[in-house]
Structure 1
Amino acid sequence: MSTIHFLEKAEAKERLFFRKYGKPGYQVHTVTGRANTIERVTEKYVYIKTSSGNEANRIPRERLRQALAILFHQRVITLKELIRIQKFSSALAALIRIIMIDICKVLRTPAGVRLSLKGLRYIYSGISKGKRDVRIVKQNGGLFVLINYFTVRSDTAATWKDNLRELGFDYKCVMLDPGEKTLHEAKRKGKTVKPLDLDEYAEFVKQHSDIIYQFLTIDKIGDPETTQANTLYLERAVGRKPIPVYHVQNSLAVLQDYIDQGYEVIAIGGSVFVGRKRRAQLFDDIFKRFGDIANFHALGVGSTELLLQYPWFSADASSWLNGRIFGKLLSLHGTVRAPIWMTSEESLAFNVRIFSSLEDRYDDMQISIDLLPPR
């Protein structure tokens, strides 16, 4: 699995569109409603005439595919990003919007117009330092993994990264978690541990930017001011925005502030510390108020029921490991016990396939027989 995977998805989607609709005179509309007209499509170019222009804009199909591949990889693109790819950004955005309309939503945010893919990206946490778990994820369609900075910061040889690359994760595939929860648990057990340092964390992100595609801020539960200060500091130190973390124990005004600042993805944390009924109520409130204008990452949520009940943008958890630890299989309809003939690795592989299928679950999908728990 590599960047080729996303480019292949982009090429297939682009070819399908032009086979159906790439006829002269077909109109595509910008996000502001202006009509653009396709004049002709060649093997290399798309010629589009805007309502206000006299000459058609020539958009290289290769750049269009690159933009689509970026969307498949990042799952979110703003118009500002499109400008860096192709100067006729409104025309390119109009094409992307119509090509991806069945699997994409347009978010009008305070930061501008944002295109976001439907479906849910699951990021596999609990990955061991060895290769065994990573190999199972890779072989069963897993695309992204979560690495705990607290547990790898002493690995000066970066063997964790070498293992990923050796197994085919040769692209930006890592979400970096600072490991604040792991540090807290170590302290609770009486261990003496070095606290997390903002500058060292920022330097680690920059050093491994070739494989880190997203990184979480260093958050403090119950202290939104410190969490936000850390987030802004990391943005300046790294040169790009981390994923901020909103804790459900805080007021929705804190979440509103993050949305107003234009973050493309916001992590929702702290839900493991509240009861099931209260958690559902909190999620209901968040998605009812902000679901149309923001993308949310479910931090440490591994229940398929909760992941499917709300339109999450992405999620991470280690619950896929329950196949080995507890002999439990996850399905789109709940958790079942693995049959006695199933090995722990087969159980893990099944759980990976379940979560991997959510990435392309743009709407209610027909369940493949491979995703039904065996008996």
Structure 2
Amino acid sequence: MIKEPRTLERRFIRSVLKKGFFITASGCKNIVTENGQIILISTSKSTDSLRISKNQIRSAIRYMQVYRTSIIKDMQCISKYSSALFGILIEIFKGESKLQTLKNGLFRLSLLGVRFYASGLEKDPFLRGEFKKLGGNFVLFNYYQLLETSFDWITWLEQTNSYALIDSGSYSDFRTKQKAKKVSFQQLELFEDELLNSYYIEGYAQFINQNQDNCRIIGFFPFDVVGDPKKTKENYQLLKQQTNATIYPVWQFTDSLEELRQLVDEEHEFIAIGGAVPYLSNRIEKVRAVLEEVYRIFPTVNFHFLGVANELLLEFPCFSADGTAFINARRNKTKKIYLEDGTRIPASAEMTTLEVIQQNLRFLMGLESNNPSFNF
């Protein structure tokens, strides 16, 4: 469960009023006084005091709790004193965040800990209920699975105070089903893969454009092709041409580090690392070697691990991850649970399948509790 913004705001007010000031990321000293529900901030750059309400501070905290990363520009929709409000966030999350210097000299503030997005819940109301009982708030929904179900996912997000990342879905399933149809969209079964690919992305883009303003949606992943970095990049660009929504790029871990550097230079909120899942069972050392090099070169960048839910989440300081590993107990005869280091061992015979799933979810969601602003 996420701590209430009011709690963090009050903690900040008590602390900063006791000192009388706080230091911004650029080293400036901001003098703070309180006037009812307003915080007055005096700086060396302004003759008048800046006025920021406590409600604005709470809104900024809530933004950080949902998105886990921000720049000064993100605060402009909350207060015209966006720089001062951003400085307050830095103070509030001191010791719980990292500060990255961008090319323009400004900063990106990102929370520590690993946000885990539970996936595989689109067609399973029982598991969605168990997820919420354990305090889960963040899911990854699969576009293709949403098309295949009558699940009113938008209402569910609103009613359960949940947030979602949206993935492009299982294109291979889509391709197989479309080619199997006798008559569909001018005989789609005769279309070449390239045309099917474009048709799928077009539908996904329309879906994004219909839902991009929903405050419960954090962002969208493009259609990445495992083992094909070139096609992954082409699909990303094709999708970007059809929507102006937040699309997080995917770097295939089999691609070059130079290609990754180009994405890093674009300074995205985070970059997804894809294509690792087929290697996790018996070639994990290859994934580990690539990640070691990635983090050696780009130690401050926010990375999201697509489909990864194992010890790599503890070995590398990733920003977030998603996966269905917590429900593997339903699929495999040998039910496994997580140890503290992220590895998994067979569960005791006395544990039911549901108990194994619950334990696995607690572990994965608990990775975010490395940030004291969260209490799962």
Q: Distance in 1 between matches of 2:313 and 2:365?
A: 13
Question: Which one-letter code corresponds to 1:257 in the other structure?
Answer: Q
> Are the counterparts in 2 of residues 29 and 35 from structure 1 also a CA contact under 8 Å?
yes
Backbone CA RMSD of aligned residues:
2.7
User: TM-score if structure 1 supplies the norm length?
Assistant: 0.85
Q: Who is 1:217 aligned against?
A: 222
Q: Distance in 2 between matches of 1:55 and 1:163?
A: 45
Gaps of 5+ in 2: 182-187, 189-195
Q: Who is 1:297 aligned against?
A: 304
Deviation at 1:34, TM superposition (A): 1.9
> Are the counterparts in 1 of residues 209 and 245 from structure 2 also a CA contact under 8 Å?
no
Q: Distance in 2 between matches of 1:165 and 1:95?
A: 29
Q: Distance in 1 between matches of 2:266 and 2:116?
A: 25
SS at match of 1:159: coil
Q: Who is 1:82 aligned against?
A: 75
**CA 1:165–1:27 in 2, change beyond 3 Å: closer, same or farther?**
closer
Deviation at 1:183, TM superposition (A): 2.9
Deviation at 1:235, TM superposition (A): 3.4
> Are the counterparts in 2 of residues 320 and 330 from structure 1 also a CA contact under 8 Å?
no
Q: Distance in 1 between matches of 2:365 and 2:315?
A: 17
Q: 1:121-154, CA deviations, whole angstroms, 9 ceiling, x for partnerless residues? A: 1011122513011111111122211222122224
Is structure 2 residue 264 aligned with structure 1 residue 276?
no
Residue among 10, 13, 20 paired with 2:15: 20
Query: Residues 1-375 of structure 1: matches in 2 within 5 Å?
Result: 8-23=3-18, 26-38=20-32, 40-110=33-103, 112-155=106-149, 158-161=150-153, 164-165=156-157, 168-171=159-162, 173-179=163-169, 182-184=170-172, 192=180, 195-196=196-197, 197-209=200-212, 210=214, 211-274=216-279, 275-292=283-300, 294-303=301-310, 305-326=311-332, 327-333=335-341, 334-362=343-371
Q: Distance in 1 between matches of 2:293 and 2:133?
A: 38
**CA 1:347–1:20 in 2, change beyond 3 Å: closer, same or farther?**
same
Gaps of 5+ in 1: none
Q: Distance in 2 between matches of 1:229 and 1:191?
A: 22
Q: Distance in 2 between matches of 1:74 and 1:251?
A: 28
Deviation at 1:188, TM superposition (A): 8.0
SS at match of 2:31: strand
**CA 1:34–1:124 in 2, change beyond 3 Å: closer, same or farther?**
same
Deviation at 1:344, TM superposition (A): 1.5
Q: Who is 2:191 aligned against?
A: none
> Are the counterparts in 1 of residues 221 and 250 from structure 2 also a CA contact under 8 Å?
yes
Deviation at 1:322, TM superposition (A): 2.5
Deviation at 1:225, TM superposition (A): 4.4
> Are the counterparts in 2 of residues 30 and 90 from structure 1 also a CA contact under 8 Å?
no
User: TM-score if structure 2 supplies the norm length?
Assistant: 0.85
**CA 1:239–1:14 in 2, change beyond 3 Å: closer, same or farther?**
same
Q: Distance in 2 between matches of 1:34 and 1:104?
A: 19
Q: Distance in 2 between matches of 1:232 and 1:128?
A: 27
> Are the counterparts in 1 of residues 16 and 22 from structure 2 also a CA contact under 8 Å?
no
> Are the counterparts in 1 of residues 140 and 167 from structure 2 also a CA contact under 8 Å?
yes
Would you say how many aligned residue pairs link Structure 1 and Structure 2? Answer: 351
> Are the counterparts in 1 of residues 248 and 268 from structure 2 also a CA contact under 8 Å?
yes
Deviation at 1:339, TM superposition (A): 2.6
> Are the counterparts in 2 of residues 122 and 144 from structure 1 also a CA contact under 8 Å?
yes
Identical residues among aligned pairs (%): 28
SS at match of 1:250: coil
SS at match of 2:219: strand
Question: Which one-letter code corresponds to 1:219 in the other structure?
Answer: D
Deviation at 1:186, TM superposition (A): 7.1
Question: Which one-letter code corresponds to 1:116 in the other structure?
Answer: S
Quick check: 267-276 or 68-77, which moved more?
A: 267-276
